[in-house]
Amino acid sequence: MIKGFDFLMDPLQWFNLTKEALTLAESELDTSQFELMILIQLDTDLQIFSTSKSQVEVESAALLGQAWRSLTNILTNELQLETWNSLTIKSHSKVVTIYSLGFDVLLVILSEAAVDSLDVLKIILRFIFQIGYQKKYETVGLVSSEGYPVWLNSVEEMDDFLFAISITSLLSLVERIDYEVSAGGIDACILQGTGNLLLNVAFNPSQDLALVVTQQGTDLDAVTLDPELKSLYQKIVDPVIYSAIVPEIIDEDREQMLEEIRQAFEGETTDEEIQTLNIFDTEMLKSLENEIKTVAKKYRANEISIGYLRRRMRLPAEVLSMALEYLIGEGTISGKVGKARKSGREILVLDSSVDIDKDDIEQIKIVKTQIGDLFIPINPLLTQLPSVQPSEVAVQEVISEALGEFQIMLTLADTDPLYLFVNDLRSIGAQLESSTKTLNLLKQQLSETDQDDVLQTELARRRGNLDEKIFEQRSAITGKVSRFYIDLLNSYRLFIRLLPPPVKFNRSKRKKKVIVIFKCSAYNCRTTVRIRDNSTTWVKLSVFATLLGIYDGFPEKSPPIVIKLKTILENRLKNLIALIEEEEINKDFVLEDYLFIENLDELLITNTQRDNAVNKLRKARAGRGIDKEDFYSLFGQCNSCNRWYCKKHMVTTNKCQYC
Amino acid sequence: MDEQIKNELRTILEEVFQKNSQIQMISLITPEGLPILTLNRESENGLSEITDSGILNRYAALAGASTTLGERTLSTLSQEKVRLIHVQGKTKDIAIAVSPHLISLVVTEPSGSPNLIAEKLNTELKAKL
């Protein structure tokens, strides 16, 4: 086996490398589907390599090379094709695909018509990295844009699913940067850690795959990709060939490792945390079970898309996958989670389906209508998504993409982690309280025992220790509170992308409710939408929109219930900022200054409140019922000033006429 | 922020813009996520300061999200924090350099080396902040 090529490769080295990779790939492929796999290098010295199964004469290969050359010339000269990557010829039952792998190396594959030869290319790419670049990169992985690992080569033992999940965070980031800065699509993203870690993610043209390489060092060249590798990788455009049915036999080692990594994995939810989240409860599990059983019964489906379940249940991927694991583990549902062989979508495969009768068929019609309702309203989603171009993409695609992105917005505005944060703070607060009480007791004892030297010394020593402990607890609180404040502001920045801050609150006849009024931000415009709702979410939104400077001020002349809540929120914020701005931790302190952390969660909007608010706006109608449009169809948000305007005052779906 | 310090920062940034014609925008943000100063190159080669809080907040949010999401990625591979994120776009290159006292967001033309500029800025401005 060839080990560690020099990185400036010559054509022969490249041919040998692809040859080795193809040989190894052959062992992973179902060779009954492939009649022929050969490599040809159209150099002056013609090189040919055919796999164990294929028998090719030199003359035929040379002829094929000649044909390819002529075809290339015709296409580049006559049709002005700039580059030329692959050629496919299909008959009813067979297909020949020729890929150009760089350095004049051609890969010719003759297979059954139904087989996708991109699979071969993906596996070859993996072995090329494994054989030729094992010295150059510490880790190389191929991840689909949906966050599934296609393959991973790593010198360290690493779980490929966790690796893929971590890269997905980066993919979200890149998408966001592209959108915010209008970078016109992204080719690569390089990440450098404070230590020595370098990471490079390259995207293929259709942005459905991410190739990740990492290496230690400070020189960015350590993670650059050779042009041949890049060109080979960029030919693989289909993300959905990979097929990975989860094994039925539980791999205990893997489970244990996964568990350990999960626990050590900062920022991701652990099992324990998941259980503390409100969403992972019996009610949710029951409704998930019902949903699965209903779909299975009504559609006689034994495969259900995980994406569908995620949207239907409004659950983050991690939670849904754990809930499914649990239901399957408990035997409530009989089946397994895997990937569709052709499309690569993650699916739940159920063991048996139920026969349907006439009633069921009637029911199917009803459910179909309900499912249709799921896709309403589309307009509001489109207004939020400038990247979606309805004229260029098929409507169905727009809808699913829009729903997907709206879901992403909802996920990003997830406040559950912030609640966990507040819990942490509470527990340090409780420790501080108990330390302070002990300190006060010690102080008292010290003042009472001024004659006994030994006891006095011991008490003084304990006091010293306690002072140190209190200092540490207070520093921890200050640090965490600062972090909390940043996350809090960020979460509201996201909320303001989903929910408009109201311009006015009016009294409602119903106790505990107010009339919340939204108006187009154009000065003279009278387009208004009113809803009757609990004031909590909307008051919070107004307070933070004012704090972030997005809105000029809190609505004047609000009812007492609103003013009361506003005052409470502002006081909490005042205490919080005072603590952050405290120049240094002084020795004397008042425990009362820290008591507010007990109630910090009052500053947050829960996920349920967020969803209720979105639903209210979806149901809200302008005027007196004549206009059938809801809030999101009537209003759009300007991406420059973040204000909401009615359609008349928007130039495009995401720009107001004033920006 | 002190107006005098802000003026000094502006002078430094203007010089950086002048020396590097490929720069399109620089935004300085505190590690807490508050905007400090954002300069943008106008088409006729003049510079303008962005003062619209809506836009400034978006960049600040972008810096915040970048650090968090970047750290999630690094935490599986090592225990490092994010120092630099360099995104190579088709029409623009973007770099975000993170240091304990400052986050710089630099946008340039493609292959405009925003990573080098952003890191240099963070080092140079350390004394000023």
Architecture of the domain whose range is A252-374: Orthogonal Bundle (1.10)
Asked if A175 reaches chain B (Cβ–Cβ under 8 Å), the answer is no
Residue A452, both tokens: 């006994």
Q: Is A197 on the interface with B (CB under 8 A)?
A: yes
- What is the gyration radius of the CA atoms in chain A, in angstroms? 31
Angstrom distance (rounded) from CA A214 to CA A139: 5
Pairs of CB atoms within 8 A across A/B: 160
Is A163 close to B76, i.e. CB distance below 8 A? yes
For chain A positions 31-70, those within 8 Å of chain B (CB to CB) are none
What is the domain class of A11-117 according to CATH?
Answer: alpha beta
Q: Measured between alpha carbons, how far is residue A561 from residues A501, A564, A566 in Å?
A: 17, 5, 9
- CATH topology classification for B3-9+19-128: Beta-Lactamase (3.30.450)
pLDDT digits (tens, 9 = 90+) for B78-123: 778 899 999 998 899 999 999 988 999 999 999 899 999 999 999 9
A154/A160 Cα distance (integer angstroms): 9
Q: Out of 3.40.50.10480, 3.30.43.10, 3.40.50.300, 3.30.450.30, which CATH number does the structure's domain A137-233 have?
A: 3.30.450.30
SS3 for A265-316, per residue? CCCCCCHHHHHHCCCCCHHHHHHHHHHHHHHHHHCCCCEEEHHHHHHHHCCC
Whole-Å CA distances, A366 to A308, A373, A408, A545, A615? 18, 11, 29, 42, 22
Q: Is A261 at the interface with chain B, CB within 8 A?
A: yes
Distance from CA of A164 to the nearest CA of B (A): 9
Give the gap in angstroms from C-alpha B128 to the nearest C-alpha of chain A.
Answer: 19
What angle separates helix A317-330 from helix A306-313, to the nearest 10 degrees?
110
Same fold, A137-233 and A252-374: no
Cα dihedral A58, A62, A63, A64, rounded to 10, equals: 100
Domain ranges of chain B: 3-9+19-128
As for the ipTM of the complex, it is 0.86
User: Tokens at residue A462, please?
Assistant: 């304990």
- Positions of chain A with pLDDT under 50: 1-6, 239-250, 265-280, 353-354, 374-396, 398-399, 402, 626
CB atoms within 10 A of CB A380: 22
Would you list the DSSP string of A580-597? HH-SS--S---GGGGGGG
Location of structure tokens 């596996």: A123
Q: Which helix (H) or strand (E) holds A515?
A: strand A513-519
Among residues B121, B15, B24, B30, the alpha carbon closest in space to that of B67 is found at: B30
Backbone φ/ψ region at A384: left (φ over 0), alpha (ψ -120 to 50), beta: alpha
- Report the distance separating Cα A255 and Cα A263, nearest Å: 12
By the CB < 8 Å criterion, does B45 face chain A?
no
Question: Which of A176, A181, A493 comes nearest B57 by C-beta?
Answer: A493
Whether A210 contacts A171, CB under 8 Å: yes
Asked if A257 has any chain B CB less than 8 Å from its own CB, the reply is no
Closest CA to A642 of B32, B52, B42, B34: B52
CA–CA separation, A170 and A188 (whole Å): 11
Determine which of A169, A220, A637 to mutate to test the interface with B (most B C-beta atoms within 10 Å).
A169
Which residues of A are less than 8 Å from B73 in CB distance? 166-167, 169-170, 191, 199
Q: How many residues does chain B have?
A: 129
Residues 20-39 of B with CB under 8 A from A: 32-33
Treating both helix axes as pointing N-terminal to C-terminal, what angle do A395-412 and A306-313 enclose, rounded to 10 degrees? Answer: 60
Which residues partner with A143 through β-bridges?
A: A149, A210
User: Does the CB of B66 have a partner CB in chain A at under 8 Å?
Assistant: yes
Domain regions of chain A by residue span:
11-117, 137-233, 252-374, 416-607
Angle of CA points A275, A280, A283, to nearest 5°: 135
In this complex, the residue of A167, A187, A640 whose CB is nearest that of residue B73 is A167
How far apart, in whole angstroms, are the C-alpha atoms of residue A345 and residue A359?
A: 31
Cα separation, A633 vs A646, in Å, equals 9
User: Residue A25 gets which letter from DSSP?
Assistant: H
